[in-house]
Amino acid sequence: MDTTRRTALLAALAASGCATATEEAPAQAALGPYKIPFTEVIPLTSQSTGVDYLLYVRVPAAYAQNDTRYPVIVTLDADYSFAVCANHLEHLADRMNQAPQSILVSIAVANIYPNRTRYYEERSRDYTPIYWPDGGNTNTPYQAHSGGGPNFLHMIETEALALIDARFRTLPGERTLVGHSYGGLFSAWVLLERPDLFDRYLIVSPSLWYANKWMFDREAERTSVRLPRKTRVYIAAGSWEEQPERHGFMVSESVAFAGLLAARGDPNLLVKSRVFEDETHASIFPAAFSTGIRHMHQTML
């Protein structure tokens, strides 16, 4: 474009109010980073694990204008789950009550984002219920940190949830645990070990291959345990996750685990599973969160 035409075009844009940041049109002053409304970050140094955590918390928009108590939704892997869940949960709750107005709490390890090596080390420790040096479908160096699930669960119960209950208007009898991959493994294990701690479990692409499918053995040992209250479990996987060389038989194992839970015949245990078409291990979480939260609060009543 020659200089005369370029100058004329910029003048026309400016006159119409459409000028952009160019050498001829000054840029607008930056307003700083976007912040998710109605959120705060609470540091928590755990006595149970010796680890510094961050609790990312979002309350409903009307929280300060009423004295209502709210359910709590806890998600793991906060550095990728919190923003997705916070925004979509508000979207669902504000539209035909497709999800409850809730307090969202996402657990992160402090000072590791975006260090991926530290991220894998920390989640390998916190989300695995037993020590297992063979990484199976993950990189084995991280498995040296495995087996910290019991301490992490103790931290959630006695420190994180206790802090949230003391600081916010919660409904302690209405709690949801959301976990993906190793987080899904952890969530499934919590369901078996402490079914009274949460009344809803959204288990996404759980790593049930872990430790030679130890979770299936544990379920067989716990099958006679009757749950103390209505508990809703939604298990999801993506159809592209049935990859033995990477994620194992994640689809068939998720479906099989859901079948074992349903076969208990416990009237207090409501189980639903779904395989999402065309979803990968990386893409499944938003779809599963949206659908799982809706089903656990609408159709599984």
pLDDT in tens, 24-81: 445 678 889 999 999 999 999 999 999 999 999 999 999 999 999 999 999 999 999 9
Length of the chain: 301
pLDDT on residue 31: 86
Tally of CA atoms within 13 A in the half-sphere of 220 that contains its CB: 6
- Between 20 and 225, name the one with better pLDDT: 225
Distance between CA atoms of 287 and 273, rounded to whole angstroms?
13
Give how far Cα 120 sits from Cα of 2, 193, 249, Å: 54, 24, 21
pLDDT on residue 24: 47
pLDDT in tens, 242-271: 987 766 799 999 999 999 999 999 999 999
Distance between CA atoms of 66 and 128, rounded to whole angstroms?
40
pLDDT on residue 26: 55
pLDDT in tens, 120-177: 999 999 999 999 987 665 557 888 889 999 999 999 999 999 999 999 999 989 999 9
Print the SS3 string covering 29-91.
CCCCCCCCCCEEEEEEECCCCCCEEEEEEECCCCHHHCCCCEEEEEECCHHHHHHHHHHHHHH
Distance between CA atoms of 251 and 281, rounded to whole angstroms?
10
Distance between CA atoms of 168 and 10, rounded to whole angstroms?
53
Q: pLDDT-derived band of residue 213, with 50, 70 and 90 as boundaries?
A: very high
